[in-house]
Structure 1
Amino acid sequence: MGATQDPSAVKVYTVNGEASSSSSSLPDWLTQKRQAKGKGKRVIREQVEGTIELIQHFEFPEASNKIKTTRDGHHAIATGTYKPQIRVWDLDQLSLKFERHTDAENVDFVMLSDDWTKSIHLQNDRSVELHTQGGFHYRTRIPRFGRALAYHSPSCDTLFAASGPEIFRLNLDQGRFLNPLVLQGDGEDIPGVNVIDINPAHQLFAFGVEGNGTVELWDPRSRSRVGILRLPHERLMPLNATALPALPGIDDGTRPAPLSVTAIASRQDGLSYAIGTSTGHTLLYDIRSARHLALKDQGYGMPVKNVSWIEGGSRMAGEGYILSADKKVIKIWNRNTPESNFTSITPARDINDVHHIPGTGLMLLANEGIKMTTYFVPQLGPAPKWCSFLENLTEEMEDQTTRTAYQDYKFIDRSELAKLGLDHLVGTPTLKPYMHGYFVSLQLYDAARVIANPYAYAEHRERMVQEKMEKLAETRIRAKKDSAAGARIKVNKALAEKIRREEERARKKEERKTAKKAKAQTVADGQGDAMEVDEEGGQEKEKEAGEEKPSLLHDPRFAAVFEDPEYQVDESSREFALLNPSSVAQRQNREAGRPRGKTAVEEEEEESDKSSSDPLSESDESEGDKSGSESEDSDDAGELWQDSIRARIAARNTGPKPTRGPSRRDPKVRLVPLQAQQSGRARGADKDATFGQRRSQLGSKGKQRASTQDADVHHTADGVEMTFIPRTTSSGADYDDEPGGKAAQAKGRTKEPRRKGVEVFGAGMEKGGEDPEVEMAESERSGRTKRRQGMRSGSKNTFRRM
């Protein structure tokens, strides 16, 4: 038993014969080969596994032509070949009842009674046979080769459609032929009639005509045509088939392409008709309108074999489903939405006839294969009474998986075939083409694989041994550190070690920050005895916070990153090199044996770690006493910058002072600071005073206004009047404010002696000579003792908080 693989689609179960192409099935050549052997337990297992035979011996020696069930629903009758024969199955017993052989192949047949006892058969040699319960009863012939057969029960007339415009009538009550019904068409010759339908509601005859695409409706009481239905020729025919080629001496090539009616089915309401055409279309008509209600295309362009209305039993949408079948596919669709299919079935063999058991979800197929096929669609209707167990069986089969692999054959593609050296067997019976590859015997595949790679077994054995050794290594006793987190780390060990180092560094920084905060708070409050208590309390709080903080190594959401080999980071890939260029360079240097120099970031981090591990110097402590509040502000919790600048300064101050070396001979340029020119009482101020001090003196004594004749005075926004004049020039006496200038001589200043080896140039610049020994204060010598505020660190890429 097979079912469709798409879970969202309608389930279609194959309960007899070969599964459809949408289901998984063995190839025909493999099935026939195993059936030919006919012996062994494997053959029995292959026939039973994944399949079910609903009706025993539901088959013909070569092919089947037509299949029907009796009106009482207890028997199924089918005709087939070869040799031409008729077979009857007892559905209550699910087995073959009997079979009869005929002289000619059957074209069509009709059951005359409610059971199997009386039937009439149309043969392909123009003969008509009547069969009864005892066997063959009577044979007669018709003038032309027959195509279809129908029985009109009120008048006991049997209608035969043949290759011509006549509809032959055989009255079974009188036992003689009656005058035929001659179809006139539209005044043109009719090459034949393909199908006959008798409406069960009002007994109206419908004849499907070949060639002109019409359906003629006849009244059996008046034996005359009461209407004609013309199909839309332009809508159904393809664009490139609008006309037939011209026949010399017969026509001029203006004949339209033939459109034939190949199937007709009338509904029980007496108004609706379903008509199948030779172009693969199915049209729905209401006899009160000449326009079709719906149009369905089978998609293959082949003549429609069967059309039927599915009445009763539908579990999906009640009534209104139509079954249309051509040679390749069966489509079940709703008459209101013909563009979408309820389900579509593609059998493994070409279809000759389809019979749907009314009121159920079971369909019987006559095909070109040996086994006839039976499909069961639970969503279409229930199972018949004679196989009610089928519903329970299909429900159990839904949870089982269908067979998708072969035990005796191996599927390989073309590339693998070339690797094994078997490509020269393409086209021979050894390789069975299937989809994009071939099926090859499993024994041949194993032999070819060993020949192509003689060390395959040795490599496999070595790989298995290595896996076992790794499993044994995991059971060894490890250190406590590894047993906690490293025991489950099987892949990405470098990444795990990096994460562990980062977490350890973050933990140490948090501990140092807590210690600094506790010490700064103790110094500020003057409680030296409580320092140890605060430190211990801070450390305990930090430890508790560290335990509550989740770790990436212990997070179960990321456990697969360190356990599943599928998440192994490929460090040799190009993507990894683009994301981690420094790591790749280090690995290449390590492999080549070249020493690796530390980057600026690594040196600064290492120096920071070393300096942070040294104890604080006494100078830091005294500085902290002087400015405890400032230390507290600079070391607030949550700062991004954690480097200890004070420790560096203390280490530099406690070390040996560098000795001053010999004076450099290269010329030096000493920039002389610009000084503001003062006027009035402010000129007697201190010469070495800064600009801010002079400004305060001006503010205390009163602002001096510059004379209107002083062109060098500039007024600032805050009211200060100033001018900037260089002290010296290249000549040394060009400016009045210089010692040798005119202003200096007028004031009685004496010219300062020029220093030896000093060359004056430009505006207040000198070069040469020796720097005088200048006594520097301790604060100027040691440099800054406080951290800069609002500075950006290039190495840490962070901002310090103001």
Structure 2
Amino acid sequence: MVVVSGDVKVYTVNGAVAGSSSSIPDWITRKRAAKTKGKRALRERVEGQVELIQGFEFPEASNKVRTTRDGHHVVATGTYKPQMRVWDLDELTMKFERHTDAENVDFIILSDNWTKTVHLQNDRSVELHTQGGFHYRTRIPRFGRSLAYHFPSCDALVSASGNEIYRLNLEQGRFLNPIVLDSPEDNPILGVNCIDINPAHQLLGFGIDGTPSVQFWDPRSRSRVGVLNLPKGRISRPTGRAVVALPGVDDEESSSGSLAVTAIASRPDGLSYAIATSTGHTLLYDIRSPKPFAFKDQGYGLPIKNVSWIEGGSRMAGDGMVLTADRKVVKIWDQHTPSSNFVSITPATDLNDVHHIPGSGLLLTANEGIQMATYYIPQLGPAPRWATFLENITEEMEDQSTRNVYEDYKFIERNELRVLGLDHLIGTPALKPYMHGYFVSLKLYDTARVIANPFAYAEHREKLIKERMDKLANSRIRTRKDAAAAMVKVNKALAQKVQKDAERERTKKEKKQARKAKQADEEAGDAMAVDDEAANEEPVTLLNDPRFKELFENPEFAVDEDSREYALLNPSAAAQKRSRAKTVVEEEEEEESDKSSSDGLSERTDDESSDDSSDAGELTKFDPRTRPGQKNARAEQQHARTREANRRRTPNINLTPLVPHASAAAAKLGDKNATFGQRLASRQTTTNTGKSAGVKFSADGGMEMSFTPSSSVTVDQPRSTKKKGARKGVEMLGATMERGGDEPQGELRENEKRGRTRRRHGQRSGSKNTFRMLSA
């Protein structure tokens, strides 16, 4: 498993994945634990995780972890039962475990390998262990807090509560005079939390509890050479979350709220020191200056448990990196840029100790969980020589995708569960509730989908074939316009709207640039040229944005204009669509009306025309106060009066009889008011060429016309648009219709002034019915 922190990748090669304590559901963890129960070799672990060291764990929790100077072994202490375990790194497995009577507080390794160790226990005892096992035990007057070893003098230094540092000389085998720290009366020393021995000049540094200060002692004269007081104003204001002390739960140290130095680390150059406090701050000092040159806030407001310098072996990090760790997070940062982190790791469980293997990118952690976590950071340094295969594994993991823990399960919602017919399994172990749906086995999901839709595979195959054919068709040579149109397969209305908006914005920008060009001086010519180039750039829209490419190509993203959500977001468009839509009945009635109007011989009776009058369909025909079977006399009388008035009313329509327009000479012959049939029956028409056209009528009412064209060719003369006899302001619309002219004289009736005040009945208009009635 890999966690990306910025550009730096962190690989978890042992223990729980960093930052993923809640990423896997509990039922998956319990299921895997049940399968591997009773098999010590097959421990529960996340799929895809590398287990670098076999059995790198404790039954309950781990306290401290160290590596030997030769780099072949790892020594760690933990509980429960209190014990010490040693792992052989050459074999990548546990070498042995050794139990103790009390829980370990701190330990140091005296030899280059694991054979000689000193352990500080929480019952005020100090134990010495050798290769054969437990060797010797002694006790100190107060409860110990930390342990250190001074190699030149063979003194084991033990700090405890109070202002004394106990010295146990391992060469003589007895306690020497303790180092007594100067304690002011107004602010007494509550204890010494940590001891640091500089590897360059062997200067002793003691972190004080009760006052934020560090005292430096020379082991040769056993006297104090200096005191470093931390800026209390800066470290007394933690920026992280507030730490609330619970009475009877938190110890006296945390409930008192006193400032303290919790960790010290000296750089191998002998000049720089990293000092961590109980408020989550880390300060970097030069031994020649009392002011810090770097300040780092961990962010949680918790005491710093470990601080160390990372030197050598770094690839991207460089030298001068600092590692700080509290209970929640491990941060690695550069001493020159403390505000930014090189990498940040959030373990799955609370941390107790962190150890960096020198010259590599591997970190070992002791935590409150069963498994001890190990993290590999390739950008921090190479893999150790006993784990060189890690580099090959990480390179392969970068090339291939990491398997998801949900790969064998399918998440479906309740609606899809009902469609597949699996809703009866709710409450059974087959369905695992998660958020707004359920996890179901992938095999069960595939089987149910095939049963619900047997043609799912065929449809999927046809869809893939169609997509491939469309892709091949798009690769053909086409014009630019066709290529742009081929990109939009769905949501064409939205694409047109986007194009119109883009054109409008482009037009506005061009006008604005033209206006600026007119107002600009000659000195601003270069600036305007830059603006013109910026204006010619194509603006980013939904069509050319690759993030929304599927919106116009994938049919699954098509906008459903008939949905309720679309109507709520676009009420005007939905209303126009409803007004344009016609039902099947309305379409059939419109077709019947068009068919009846095309027949010139069909006429309506008086009753039919009166039904389509302006008063037809009035609301007074139905009185909701009357009982079923009872007549409304008032409504019937009103309807009869309206019907009689419509019969006597003369419509305001100018009618022109149908007269054939043959020629000016022929128009003067006969009666102008005669119909077309009467004129044909009474005479023969003469064409412009002088040839006659004969008309014969059959017995059944048919008509036959013969016409002989002229053999001479005549040139058409342009006709005058103004006809003889045409009235001024009158426009001919056909054989029998005209528009314009004088309006009829006389005053308008009352109903003509008001206009239509009642709804129409049926699909016919009143004007057409009246026209048919009067033309009979």
1:342 is matched with: 342
CA distance in 2, matches of 1:297, 1:361: 23
Residue 388 of structure 1: how far off its partner (Å):
1.0
1:768 is matched with: none
Residue 467 of structure 1: how far off its partner (Å):
3.6
The answer as to whether partners of 2:432 and 2:440 remain within 8 angstroms in 1 is no
2:233 aligned with 1:234? yes
- Equivalent positions of 1:463-474 (< 5 A) are 464=456, 467=459
- The C-alpha deviation readout for 1:609-647, integer Å capped at 9, x for no partner, is xxxxxxxxxxxxxxxxxxxxxxxxxxxxxxxxxxxxxxx
Residue 229 of structure 1: how far off its partner (Å):
1.2
SS in 1 for 2:399: coil
2:352 is matched with: 352
Aligned residues: 526
Shift in CA distance, 410/258, structure 1 to aligned 2, threshold 3 Å:
farther
The answer as to whether partners of 1:414 and 1:423 remain within 8 angstroms in 2 is no
2:73 is matched with: 75
2:280 aligned with 1:280? yes
Of the structure 1 ranges 138-147 and 30-39, higher mean CA displacement relative to structure 2 is found in: 30-39
Q: What is the identity, as a one-letter code, of the residue corresponding to 1:359? A: G
Residue 95 of structure 1: how far off its partner (Å):
1.2
- The C-alpha deviation readout for 1:430-473, integer Å capped at 9, x for no partner, is 99897xx38967479989x99xxxxx879932773994898799
Shift in CA distance, 134/28, structure 1 to aligned 2, threshold 3 Å:
farther
- Of 128, 137, 144, 1:130 maps to 128
1:198 is matched with: 197
Q: What is the identity, as a one-letter code, of the residue corresponding to 2:68? A: T
Residue 85 of structure 1: how far off its partner (Å):
0.9
Of the structure 1 ranges 47-56 and 402-411, higher mean CA displacement relative to structure 2 is found in: 402-411
- Of 104, 111, 114, 1:113 maps to 111
CA distance in 2, matches of 1:267, 1:77: 24
Residue 571 of structure 1: how far off its partner (Å):
3.6
- Equivalent positions of 1:175-214 (< 5 A) are 175-187=173-185, 188-214=187-213
2:146 is matched with: 148
The answer as to whether partners of 2:411 and 2:440 remain within 8 angstroms in 1 is no
SS in 1 for 2:32: helix
CA distance in 2, matches of 1:587, 1:200: 90
Of the structure 1 ranges 23-32 and 342-351, higher mean CA displacement relative to structure 2 is found in: 23-32
Q: What is the identity, as a one-letter code, of the residue corresponding to 1:394? A: T
Shift in CA distance, 593/364, structure 1 to aligned 2, threshold 3 Å:
same
- Of 572, 581, 586, 1:587 maps to 581
CA distance in 1, matches of 2:401, 2:286: 45
CA distance in 2, matches of 1:170, 1:45: 43
Shift in CA distance, 244/200, structure 1 to aligned 2, threshold 3 Å:
same
- Equivalent positions of 1:591-610 (< 5 A) are 593=587
The answer as to whether partners of 1:409 and 1:439 remain within 8 angstroms in 2 is no
CA distance in 1, matches of 2:193, 2:415: 52
2:720 aligned with 1:778? yes
Larger Rg: 1
2:376 is matched with: 376
CA distance in 2, matches of 1:414, 1:275: 56
1:461 is matched with: 453
The answer as to whether partners of 1:63 and 1:82 remain within 8 angstroms in 2 is yes
1:551 is matched with: none
1:570 is matched with: 560
- The C-alpha deviation readout for 1:549-594, integer Å capped at 9, x for no partner, is xxxxxxxxx9989974135353424478856976654334568547
- Equivalent positions of 1:484-523 (< 5 A) are none
CA distance in 2, matches of 1:157, 1:494: 82
Shift in CA distance, 144/322, structure 1 to aligned 2, threshold 3 Å:
same
Q: What is the identity, as a one-letter code, of the residue corresponding to 1:780? A: K
- The C-alpha deviation readout for 1:495-515, integer Å capped at 9, x for no partner, is 79xx9xxxxxxxxxxxxxxxx
The answer as to whether partners of 1:242 and 1:256 remain within 8 angstroms in 2 is no
- The C-alpha deviation readout for 1:510-569, integer Å capped at 9, x for no partner, is xxxxxxxxxxxxxxxxxxxxxxxxxxxxxxxxxxxxxxxxxxxxxxxx998997413535
- The C-alpha deviation readout for 1:747-800, integer Å capped at 9, x for no partner, is xxxxxxxxxxxxxxxxxxxxxxxxxxxxx98353399xxxxxxxxxxxxxxxxx
Shift in CA distance, 310/560, structure 1 to aligned 2, threshold 3 Å:
closer
Q: What is the identity, as a one-letter code, of the residue corresponding to 1:148? A: S
Q: What is the identity, as a one-letter code, of the residue corresponding to 2:558? A: Q
Q: What is the identity, as a one-letter code, of the residue corresponding to 1:122? A: L
Shift in CA distance, 429/186, structure 1 to aligned 2, threshold 3 Å:
farther
1:712 is matched with: none
CA distance in 2, matches of 1:389, 1:258: 47
Q: What is the identity, as a one-letter code, of the residue corresponding to 1:587? A: A
Shift in CA distance, 394/494, structure 1 to aligned 2, threshold 3 Å:
closer
CA distance in 2, matches of 1:559, 1:139: 74
CA distance in 2, matches of 1:396, 1:290: 49
CA distance in 1, matches of 2:464, 2:290: 84
2:36 is matched with: 38
Q: What is the identity, as a one-letter code, of the residue corresponding to 2:97? A: E
Give the gaps of 5 or more residues in structure 1. 248-254, 451-455, 476-483, 500-557, 598-651, 663-775, 784-802
Shift in CA distance, 493/206, structure 1 to aligned 2, threshold 3 Å:
closer
CA distance in 2, matches of 1:197, 1:309: 13
SS in 2 for 1:121: strand
CA distance in 1, matches of 2:354, 2:549: 58
1:167 is matched with: 165
CA distance in 1, matches of 2:188, 2:406: 57
Shift in CA distance, 443/568, structure 1 to aligned 2, threshold 3 Å:
closer
CA distance in 2, matches of 1:432, 1:20: 25
The answer as to whether partners of 2:117 and 2:129 remain within 8 angstroms in 1 is yes
- TM-score w.r.t. the length of structure 1 is 0.57
Give the gaps of 5 or more residues in structure 2. 248-254, 468-475, 479-484, 497-547, 592-658, 674-717, 727-776
Shift in CA distance, 295/594, structure 1 to aligned 2, threshold 3 Å:
farther
CA distance in 2, matches of 1:300, 1:493: 51
- The C-alpha deviation readout for 1:316-339, integer Å capped at 9, x for no partner, is 142011000000100000111111
Shift in CA distance, 184/399, structure 1 to aligned 2, threshold 3 Å:
same
The answer as to whether partners of 2:164 and 2:180 remain within 8 angstroms in 1 is yes
The answer as to whether partners of 2:359 and 2:381 remain within 8 angstroms in 1 is yes
Residue 4 of structure 1: how far off its partner (Å):
1.4
CA distance in 1, matches of 2:164, 2:58: 34
2:692 is matched with: none
The answer as to whether partners of 1:18 and 1:25 remain within 8 angstroms in 2 is no
CA distance in 2, matches of 1:176, 1:50: 53
Residue 109 of structure 1: how far off its partner (Å):
0.6
Residue 244 of structure 1: how far off its partner (Å):
13
1:668 is matched with: none
CA distance in 2, matches of 1:304, 1:127: 26
Q: What is the identity, as a one-letter code, of the residue corresponding to 2:369? A: G
Shift in CA distance, 410/180, structure 1 to aligned 2, threshold 3 Å:
farther
CA distance in 2, matches of 1:356, 1:326: 15
CA distance in 1, matches of 2:196, 2:376: 27
Residue 34 of structure 1: how far off its partner (Å):
2.1
Residue 411 of structure 1: how far off its partner (Å):
5.8
Q: What is the identity, as a one-letter code, of the residue corresponding to 1:461? A: N
CA distance in 2, matches of 1:75, 1:65: 17
Residue 132 of structure 1: how far off its partner (Å):
1.0
Shift in CA distance, 654/104, structure 1 to aligned 2, threshold 3 Å:
farther
CA distance in 2, matches of 1:440, 1:559: 31
SS in 2 for 1:393: helix
2:306 aligned with 1:316? no
- The C-alpha deviation readout for 1:342-389, integer Å capped at 9, x for no partner, is 010011111110000111000001111111111000000001111111
CA distance in 1, matches of 2:174, 2:358: 34
CA distance in 2, matches of 1:85, 1:66: 11
- TM-score w.r.t. the length of structure 2 is 0.59
CA distance in 2, matches of 1:23, 1:397: 22
Residue 74 of structure 1: how far off its partner (Å):
1.0
SS in 2 for 1:53: coil
Shift in CA distance, 467/194, structure 1 to aligned 2, threshold 3 Å:
same
